[in-house]
């Protein structure tokens, strides 16, 4: 007997983009839509046609460029305006012109919003919903109805909230979606209300939930367990305020814990890569502790855990990480036992003998005492074990590098900012408008028997070093151009030593498919940065897929 189906409706491109700090271009939206189709969600809400030029362009280009293979593109909008006609309503016209066969419209289901926000009689609120749905279905559109503030409305006036849903269903809506717009409903309330609605109405029910109480995922699961057959949410839980319910753990829990089908067969193992890829496209660092797909979701540090996992993989893991496209990690630090380090070495393809294992353990302790922190720098940890096991990286050999920072007069990009600040702060002078800092770097490398000297300029010494290194190796390793830094962190150790203190640098990198972290430690911040930078490029080249390398 096949597993019961739950429809996954993704609204990352609309609701998700309302999160502070996210600003998607049309190209971003198209790329995210491709990722969602690759994952296999049922519906992709592309945006609100007519609300802004960006969404208009997206829908114009989507028909020719997306070529969706699994998902169905949805246009979002609202019911007609109060006291107006559907035939002349601009929002409904834009939905008709979107090119989408499915549209989703939002309408009021909380009597308080109808009488106080819209300031119309309750009957008009129902008419706005019913007439809009009937108009769109009459012109051949499939219609989903999002009942805004439904849970609050049901708790305040259940008869009216149900009357709105009934009107939408009778007018032809295919899905009735119960929205927790304020995000304040708890799982037991969601379950009880969804069950009551499912009992009262025959039209399939969906849920659209926010995470303001931290219960977004739990609320979605409660809704499904009580009869909902569609979940609306976003990848990684993006959305305004504290976000929408996170489709990533929802999908995993539905399929692996509750026996539902959320994605097409064979797609669940794409969950981790899609979650990380979308994070990259919205320019957010992936949450390392995100359930199922986070970098530390299956990371083990304690030696007791590691030794147990050697015998039974389910000893400290609730699922097999590979089911969602993730993998186990055995975090190595000075606290790690020999079993942890041995296991990590095997992951890298090395079966360490006792002497080498002891060497790795001792070296690790010494380096962490000196300021290294390998449990947060997985890539550098791998390279360290490889080197101690006798591996020599084949990509390049450093002869030397030099970095220069110059301070010269010119028109600075911050000139206008300084000019504005000078009006209110006596510490900013006109002279500050003429200051300009440049960095340049030279690296001398050996690629086999070939000596290469390359130069680079950048916004600071680390950027200049990175550009010089790319100039040196780019022609020999074309895939290296895909590697770029996503984060750069500096921590000063032993601050009492002031400018003589040891500096720890962490660099996060990506090639668009994987992310990794490398570390460098030195009294010289440039040297610490070089260590982390070089490790980043070496690890990226080491793990680059053949199709990426050329």
What average pLDDT score do residues 505-520 get?
Answer: 89
Question: Quick check: 186 pLDDT over 90?
Answer: yes
Instruction: Average the pLDDT over 301-307 and give the result.
Output: 52
**Strand (E) or helix (H) holding 507:** strand 503-510
Tell me what pLDDT residue 428 has: 46
Residues 316 and 267 placed together within one structural domain of the fold = no
Tell me how far apart the alpha carbons of residues 11 and 23 are, in angstroms, rounded to a whole number. 15
Which of 114-118, 324-328, 346-350, 498-502 holds the top average pLDDT? 114-118
List the single range of 25-39, 368-382, 425-439 with lowest mean pLDDT: 425-439
Determine the Cα–Cα distance for residues 113 and 513; give it in Å rounded to an integer: 45
Where residue 493 sits, what CATH number does that domain have? 3.30.160.340
- 334 within domain boundaries: yes
Residue 103 lies inside a defined structural domain of this protein: yes
Are residues 385 and 430 in contact, defined by beta-carbon separation less than 8 angstroms? no
Neighbour-count burial of 8, counting CB atoms closer than 10 A to its CB (0-12 exposed, 13-18 middle, 19+ buried): buried
- Mean pLDDT calculated for residue range 235-246: 96
pLDDT of 309 higher than 60: no
**Euclidean distance between CA atoms 175 and 169, whole angstroms:** 8
The pTM score is 0.69
For residue 489, name the pLDDT band (cuts at 50, 70, 90).
confident
Beta bridge partners of 453: 444
277 with 305, same domain: the answer is no
pLDDT at 84: 94
Whether 488 maps to a domain, the answer reads yes
Q: Which pLDDT tens digit goes with each residue over 63-95?
A: 889 999 999 999 999 999 999 999 999 999 999
Helix (H) or strand (E) holding 453: strand 450-458
pLDDT reported for residue 460: 85
Query: Which pLDDT score is estimated for 542?
Result: 92
DSSP H helices, 389-518, are 415-422, 461-473
Q: Which has the minimum average pLDDT: 244-258, 292-306, 363-377?
A: 292-306
Q: Is the predicted pLDDT of residue 60 greater than 50, yes or no?
A: yes
Q: Can you say how many angstroms the Cα of residue 511 is from the centroid of all Cα atoms in its chain?
A: 15
Domain membership of residue 431 (yes or no) is: no
User: How much helix, strand and coil, in percent to the nearest 5, is found in the chain?
Assistant: 45, 20, 35
pLDDT at 420 (0 to 100):
53
- Evaluate whether residue 116 is within a structural domain: yes
147-151, 165-169, 185-189, 415-419: lowest mean pLDDT where? 415-419
Range 313-329 average pLDDT: 80
166 pLDDT more than 80 = yes
Among 95-109, 206-220, 477-491, 517-531, the least confident range: 477-491
Q: Which of 330, 356, 388 is the last residue of a domain?
A: 388
For residues 345 and 334, is the Cβ–Cβ distance under 8 A?
A: no
* pLDDT confidence of residue 293: 92
pLDDT of the residue at 493 = 77
Strand partners, 504: 491, 521
pLDDT of residue 353: 87
Average pLDDT over residues 296-325: 70
Residue 472 has pLDDT above 70, yes or no: yes
Please give the DSSP secondary-structure letter assigned to residue 259.
Answer: -
Do 98 and 180 share a domain, yes or no? yes
The Cα–Cα gap between 270 and 253 comes to: 15
Please report the pLDDT score of residue 344 as a whole number. 76
In a domain, 507, yes or no: yes
- Eight-class DSSP state of 460: S
Residues spanned by the domain of 543: 477-550
Q: How confident is the model at residue 549 (pLDDT cuts 50, 70, 90)?
A: very low
Which tokens is 189 given?
């309330």
**Average pLDDT estimate for 452-480:** 91
CB 247 within 8 A of CB 231: yes
Strands (E), 165-270: 175-180, 205-209, 230-233
Q: Is the separation of the CB atoms in 77 and 121 below 8 Å?
A: no
Average of per-residue pLDDT across 123-130: 96
Q: Is residue 43 part of a domain?
A: yes
pLDDT of res. 437: 58
Q: How many CA atoms lie within 13 A of 419 on its CB side?
A: 8
**Final residue belonging to a domain, choices 248, 281, 314:** 281
User: Both 253 and 307 in a single domain?
Assistant: no
pLDDT score of 432: 47
| pLDDT, the chain, mean | 88
pLDDT in tens, 391-450: 999 999 999 999 998 766 555 554 555 555 455 554 444 444 444 557 899 999 999 999
CATH of the domain at 13: 3.20.20.70
Question: Which of the residue ranges 44-48, 136-140, 519-523 would you say has the lowest mean pLDDT?
Answer: 519-523
When divided into structural domains, the chain yields a total of 3
- Give the range among 4-13, 147-156, 388-397, 421-430 with minimum mean pLDDT: 421-430
Cβ 66 vs Cβ 93: under 8 Å: no
Q: Are residues 24 and 100 both part of a single domain? A: yes
pLDDT for residue 150 is more than 60: yes
What does the pLDDT average to over 366-374? 84
The total number of residues written for the chain in this structure: 550
Phi-psi sector, 201: left (phi>0), alpha (psi -120 to 50), beta: beta
CA of 265: how far to CAs of 158, 215, 270, in Å? Answer: 39, 28, 11
**Is 311 in the same domain as 277?**
no
Q: Is residue 54 part of a domain?
A: yes
Mean pLDDT of 523-528: 91
Choose one of 224, 250, 281: the last residue of a domain.
281
Are the beta carbons of 128 and 107 closer than 8 angstroms? yes
């Amino acid at each position: 007997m096949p597993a019961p189906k739950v429809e996954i409706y993704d609204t990352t491109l609309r609701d998700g983009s309302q999160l502070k700090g996210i600003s998607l271009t049309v190209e971003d939206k198209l790329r995210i839509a491709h990722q969602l189709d690759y994952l296999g969600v049922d519906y992709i809400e592309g945006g609100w046609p007519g609300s802004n030029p960006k969404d208009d362009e997206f829908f114009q280009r989507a028909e020719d460029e997306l070529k969706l293979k699994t998902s169905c593109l949805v246009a979002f909008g609202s019911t007609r305006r109060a006291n107006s006609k559907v035939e002349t309503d601009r929002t409904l016209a834009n939905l008709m012109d979107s090119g989408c066969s499915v549209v989703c419209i939002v309408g009021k289901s909380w009597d308080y919003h109808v009488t106080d926000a819209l300031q119309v009689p309750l009957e008009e609120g129902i008419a706005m919903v019913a007439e809009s749905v009937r108009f769109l279905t009459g012109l051949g559109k499939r219609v989903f109805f999002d009942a805004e503030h439904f849970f609050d409305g049901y708790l305040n006036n259940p008869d009216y909230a149900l009357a709105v849903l009934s009107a939408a269903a009778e007018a032809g809506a295919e899905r009735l979606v119960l929205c927790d717009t304020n995000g304040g409903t708890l799982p037991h309330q969601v379950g009880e209300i969804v069950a009551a609605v499912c009992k009262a109405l025959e039209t399939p029910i969906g849920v659209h939930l926010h995470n303001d109480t931290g219960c977004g995922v739990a609320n979605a699961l409660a809704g499904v367990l009580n009869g909902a057959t569609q979940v609306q949410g976003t990848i990684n839980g993006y959305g305004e305020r504290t976000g929408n319910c996170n489709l990533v753990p929802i999908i995993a829990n539905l399929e692996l814990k509750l026996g539902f089908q959320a994605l097409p067969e064979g797609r669940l193992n794409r969950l981790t890569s899609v979650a990380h890829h979308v994070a990259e496209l919205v320019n957010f660092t992936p949450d390392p502790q995100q359930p199922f797909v986070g970098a530390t979701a299956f990371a083990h540090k304690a030696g007791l855990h590691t030794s147990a996992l050697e015998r039974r993989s389910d000893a400290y893991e609730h699922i097999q990480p590979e089911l969602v496209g993730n993998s186990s990690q055995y975090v190595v630090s000075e606290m790690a036992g020999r079993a942890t380090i041995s296991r990590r070495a095997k992951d890298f393809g090395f079966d360490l003998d006792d002497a080498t294992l002891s060497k790795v353990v001792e070296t690790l302790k010494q380096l962490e005492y000196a300021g290294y922190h390998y449990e947060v720098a997985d890539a550098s940890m791998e390279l360290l074990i490889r080197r101690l096991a006798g591996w020599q990286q084949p990509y390049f050999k450093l002869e030397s590098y030099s970095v220069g920072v110059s301070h010269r007069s010119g028109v600075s990009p911050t000139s206008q900012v300084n000019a504005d600040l000078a009006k209110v702060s006596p510490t900013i002078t006109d002279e500050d408008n003429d200051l300009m800092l440049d960095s340049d770097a030279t690296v001398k490398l050996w690629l086999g028997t070939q000596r290469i000297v390359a130069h680079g300029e950048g916004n600071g010494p680390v950027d200049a070093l990175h550009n010089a290194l790319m100039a040196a190796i780019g022609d020999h390793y074309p895939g290296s151009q895909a590697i770029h830094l996503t984060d750069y962190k500096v921590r000063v150790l032993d601050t009492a030593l002031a400018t003589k203190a040891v500096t720890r640098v962490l660099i996060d990198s990506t090639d668009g498919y994987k992310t990794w972290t490398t570390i460098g430690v030195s009294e010289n911040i440039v040297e610490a940065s070089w260590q982390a930078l070089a490790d980043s490029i070496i690890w990226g080249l080491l793990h680059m897929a053949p199709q990426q390398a050329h």
